[in-house]
A = this chain, B = another copy of it.
Amino acid sequence: MQHIKNIPAKDLVPGITGYYAHGTDMTFGLVEIKKNSNLPAHQHVHEQITYVLEGQLDMLIGDKECSLTPGMYYVIPSNTLHSAIAVTDCKVIDVFSPVREEYKSGFTQNEYRGIER
């Protein structure tokens, strides 16, 4: 038990900072996103569920555009290309299964340099 912000922050890309807690089967993240920040298109084997706490996050998930506001969620299947742009400052919950092992240690922003689509 601890406050999630006691976990060392991960700066995914400029303006997008995550705090990630890990179990055996899942990773739970609180993600803070500055207005106009952009998470380039990427994909991963992990299933992801994104839930918006605050703000407006516009996402492109596969070929589907969606605009998520507080209380809205999206289940992003394994290996599905997705990207996001923050229309406002946002707070978001991102959960993943299996665990995002690479989030347990430091990583550079290079892994989010984006995938052309």
Count of identical protomers in the assembly = 2
Q: Counting CB contacts under 8 A, is A106 at the interface?
A: no
Q: Counting CB contacts under 8 A, is A31 at the interface?
A: no
Q: Counting CB contacts under 8 A, is A77 at the interface?
A: yes
Distance to closest chain B CB from A51 (angstroms): 6
Q: Counting CB contacts under 8 A, is A81 at the interface?
A: no
Residues of A within 8 A of B (CB): 1-5, 21-26, 28, 30, 47, 49, 51, 53, 64, 66, 68, 71-75, 77-78, 93, 95, 97-98
Show 22 residue pairs from A and B whose CB-CB distance is below 8 angstroms, ordered by the A residue: A1-B68, A1-B72, A2-B73, A3-B71, A4-B71, A4-B72, A5-B71, A22-B75, A23-B47, A23-B49, A23-B97, A24-B47, A25-B47, A25-B97, A25-B98, A26-B95, A26-B97, A28-B51, A28-B95, A30-B51, A49-B95, A51-B93
The 8 A-B pairs of least Cβ separation, nearest first, read A25-B97, A23-B75, A1-B66, A28-B49, A97-B97, A26-B97, A25-B47, A1-B74
